[in-house]
A and B are shown apart, each in its own frame.
Chain A
Amino acid sequence: MSKVDVSQLVDNKTGRQSRTIFHEQDIYEQEQERIFGKCWLFLAHESQIPDPGDYFRTFMGEDEVLVIRQKDQSIKAFLNTCTHRGNRVCKSDKGNAKQFTCSYHGWSFAADGALQSVPLEEDAYYNELDKSKFGLHPVCHVDSYKGLIFGNFDPDAPSLVDYLGDMKWYLDVWLDAMPEGTELIGSTQKVEYPVNWKLPVENACGDGYHIGWAHAGVMTVATSMNIESLSLGNTKVDSSTAMAGGGMNGHSIISSLDGQSGYAFYPDPSLPVSYLEANRDTVVSRLGDTRGKQFWGSQINMTIFPNVQMLPGLNWFRVYHPKGPGKMEMWTWAMVDKEMSDELKQTVLDNVCRTFGAAGMFDNDDGENFAACTSQNRGLQTRQKDVYTNMGLGKEYTHPEMPGVISDGLVGEQNQRYFYRRWQEMMAAKDWSAVPNYNNLEEANATEGKIDE
């Protein structure tokens, strides 16, 4: 298959994207190979599969996979497809199983993927089937970072810790703030959208701009705290109020820096705020003053390239599964600190569902916008036009303590530009050796446009 030349589809210097990237089938196929086939993709949280035999059924790109806890507590993942004729071997969303039996001919696979038994093995296969060659197809790499399990199909991929790079400094504000770490609670909230998968990712990775307008209705009735950095333009804030950090190999963060506004959209934030203050010293001792006092508790959006988003405070954790260029499935959970009381966990879960669940009052504002940003590009004339994320071009700088490329404020488009830059780099690279590595402004500038095809 000839590859799509992506060199003109994204221009980081002007913040331009071609609309074809939201529509064309061949671009989508290339994303499956070069992004979802090469990047580390979120599989499950360790808390979802605590015991041997526990499994969770999910997707890596369009590939359906089973994530299974092993007897030795390690985790393996396999394509959810029988090696005989290709049927699914597991249909349940999650559960605990000693084996997975295909419903077509009854081939049965162990939790470690080995083909265990085949009906009529002697009578029909003359005992000549080499079962050792027909185990489930494993996902090449599976690794965890502080509770989050990721998989990677590419044998030559960098390690997970290298892949996460300097973003780990920010991820730890949630994953490593409290000694016991985090857990996902509740069953998976799944919504299907007629939306290209990149649009919700770019939105949550940096778009503080839309909040006051797209969510005006709910902001009017449901805000219990003032988030100054959302109501003011970037010329009115500095890095002591709110920041955007991007350019970390596609990963990014936007954050208020007041240490409590994560709970601004709780009708009554007193319970979570008292939890923050009761544990503030612990977190400061683990993460230091900047992360413990300014980040922990703030309104934060974190994005792990290509399709994971986590909002501590609002406490949702989300992954976007592509289902074709014009369709995606959004999976949402509540993520909480294990140390939280059951009462607080229930409060957090309720708030996640009421704000960003299937009937969530914030989430219900976004889908229609993303859907039309996708569907309008069906028009041949329309999709020959470009779209832009050019707000605050050239305002990026290096911060003495915060990793990444930094801009002031929550209202900006820096992170969206770096998201599309990474998209372009991954789409152009035939393997990982051609993918540039950058974690700050100097490295990002030095590697700009250096795409080795």
Chain B
Amino acid sequence: MSNSLPFKNTVDIETYLAFQALLYKEARLLDQEDYEQWLAMLADDIHYYMPVPARYLREEKKQAIKPLDAHIFNDYKKQIELRIARFATNLVWSENPQNAINHTVTNIEVFPTDVDGEWNALSVVTVLRSRLDGVEKRMVVSRDDIWRIEGDSLKLAKRNMLFNHTVVPDSNLNFFF
């Protein structure tokens, strides 16, 4: 019996572990609201996109996402910076006291792309947000990323997200996924 498995990882183990560490680091920065360091991980042409989910019958595919559809995030760097500038004013009362938040990243898969120096990373992020007085909110998002080598670091160039919940379960989304 051969010891080799009839399944091949999509990238070598070094690359896979590097992406795992990268996504964990990003999750930690978001948990810590370290937006300065998080912004430094984003490419200048970042597109950060999360359409509004809806429920249609399987045969109603034409109802699926089309141009001019609503979104939760459709941000380029300028809009992301604006959100962060809003937090930085310290005038966002709902974030004071600070809400505890944990981004748990799972289901990581990494694929090479047709472009040199770019990788496609899939992951699922589960956000647990502990608000005032025992209120807890849990949200699950699947992410489809493009990461690109720029200089001596990897930068997030694109993040397409699917939000699991057709009704957003929290009264604000004052954070990033």
Asked whether B18 is an interface residue with its Cβ less than 8 Å from the other chain, the reply is: no
Say whether B85 contacts A221, CB under 8 Å.
yes
CB distance from A1 to the nearest CB of B (A): 30
Asked whether A448 is an interface residue with its Cβ less than 8 Å from the other chain, the reply is: no
User: For residue B79, which residues in chain A have a CB less than 8 angstroms away from its CB?
Assistant: 354
- Which chain A residues have a beta carbon within 8 Å of chain B's beta carbons? 91-96, 185-195, 214, 216-218, 220-222, 267, 329, 333-334, 342, 345-346, 349-350, 352-354, 357-359, 361, 363-371
Say whether B168 contacts A190, CB under 8 Å.
yes
User: For residue A221, which residues in chain B have a CB less than 8 angstroms away from its CB?
Assistant: 82, 85-86, 89
Say whether A350 contacts B74, CB under 8 Å.
yes
Asked whether B24 is an interface residue with its Cβ less than 8 Å from the other chain, the reply is: no
**Given A220-B89, A350-B71, 10 extra CB contacts under 8 A:** A93-B55, A94-B63, A187-B51, A191-B168, A217-B89, A358-B52, A364-B92, A364-B171, A366-B171, A368-B171
User: For residue A186, which residues in chain B have a CB less than 8 angstroms away from its CB?
Assistant: 52, 68-71
Say whether B72 contacts A357, CB under 8 Å.
yes
The 8 Å CB contact of B63, one of A95, A220, A346, is A95
Asked whether B7 is an interface residue with its Cβ less than 8 Å from the other chain, the reply is: no
Say whether A368 contacts B72, CB under 8 Å.
no
User: For residue A349, which residues in chain B have a CB less than 8 angstroms away from its CB?
Assistant: 68, 70
Say whether A214 contacts B69, CB under 8 Å.
no
Say whether A361 contacts B86, CB under 8 Å.
yes
User: For residue B89, which residues in chain A have a CB less than 8 angstroms away from its CB?
Assistant: 216-217, 220-221
Say whether B174 contacts A364, CB under 8 Å.
yes
Say whether A346 contacts B92, CB under 8 Å.
no
User: For residue A187, which residues in chain B have a CB less than 8 angstroms away from its CB?
Assistant: 51-52, 54, 69-70
**In the bound complex, CA of A194 to CA of B60 (Å):** 32
The 8 Å CB contact of A367, one of B68, B86, B90, B94, is B94
**In the bound complex, CA of A266 to CA of B130 (Å):** 32
Say whether B168 contacts A363, CB under 8 Å.
no
Q: How many residues of B contact A (CB 8 A)?
A: 40
Asked whether B73 is an interface residue with its Cβ less than 8 Å from the other chain, the reply is: yes
Closest to B55 in A: A93
Closest to A57 in B: B55
CB distance from B125 to the nearest CB of A (A): 15
**In the bound complex, CA of A69 to CA of B56 (Å):** 18
CB distance from B66 to the nearest CB of A (A): 9
Which residues of chain B from 29 to 86 have a CB within 8 Å of any chain A CB?
Answer: 50-52, 54-57, 60, 63, 67-75, 78-79, 82-83, 85-86
Say whether A361 contacts B91, CB under 8 Å.
no
**In the bound complex, CA of A191 to CA of B137 (Å):** 13
Say whether A195 contacts B68, CB under 8 Å.
no
User: For residue B91, which residues in chain A have a CB less than 8 angstroms away from its CB?
Assistant: 216-217, 220
User: For residue B70, which residues in chain A have a CB less than 8 angstroms away from its CB?
Assistant: 185-189, 333-334, 349, 352-353, 357
The 8 Å CB contact of A358, one of B78, B83, B90, B168, is B168
CB distance from B71 to the nearest CB of A (A): 5
Closest to A94 in B: B63
CB distance from B98 to the nearest CB of A (A): 13
Say whether A346 contacts B68, CB under 8 Å.
yes
Say whether A92 contacts B87, CB under 8 Å.
no
Task: Write 17 A-B pairs (CB below 8 A) sorted by A numbering.
Answer: A92-B60, A94-B54, A94-B63, A186-B70, A187-B54, A217-B91, A218-B92, A220-B86, A221-B85, A222-B82, A334-B70, A353-B71, A354-B79, A357-B70, A358-B72, A359-B73, A367-B170
Asked whether B13 is an interface residue with its Cβ less than 8 Å from the other chain, the reply is: no
Say whether B171 contacts A95, CB under 8 Å.
no
**In the bound complex, CA of A218 to CA of B87 (Å):** 8
User: For residue B85, which residues in chain A have a CB less than 8 angstroms away from its CB?
Assistant: 221
The 8 Å CB contact of B166, one of A190, A333, A363, A369, is A190
Asked whether B169 is an interface residue with its Cβ less than 8 Å from the other chain, the reply is: yes
Say whether B172 contacts A368, CB under 8 Å.
yes
**In the bound complex, CA of A346 to CA of B74 (Å):** 11
**In the bound complex, CA of A334 to CA of B85 (Å):** 25
User: For residue A217, which residues in chain B have a CB less than 8 angstroms away from its CB?
Assistant: 86-87, 89-92
User: For residue A334, which residues in chain B have a CB less than 8 angstroms away from its CB?
Assistant: 70
Instruction: Given A220-B89, A222-B82, A267-B82, answer yes or no on A364-B55 (Cβ-Cβ < 8 Å).
Output: no
Kindly list the 5 A-B residue pairs having the minimum CB-CB distance in the complex, ordered from nearest.
Answer: A367-B171, A186-B70, A364-B172, A217-B91, A368-B94
User: For residue A363, which residues in chain B have a CB less than 8 angstroms away from its CB?
Assistant: 172
Say whether A93 contacts B68, CB under 8 Å.
no
**In the bound complex, CA of A96 to CA of B173 (Å):** 33
User: For residue B167, which residues in chain A have a CB less than 8 angstroms away from its CB?
Assistant: 190-192, 329
The 8 Å CB contact of A194, one of B55, B73, B171, is B171
User: For residue B57, which residues in chain A have a CB less than 8 angstroms away from its CB?
Assistant: 91-92, 95
Say whether A361 contacts B72, CB under 8 Å.
no
Say whether B55 contacts A92, CB under 8 Å.
yes
**In the bound complex, CA of A91 to CA of B59 (Å):** 13
Which residues of chain B from 73 to 122 have a CB within 8 Å of any chain A CB?
Answer: 73-75, 78-79, 82-83, 85-87, 89-94
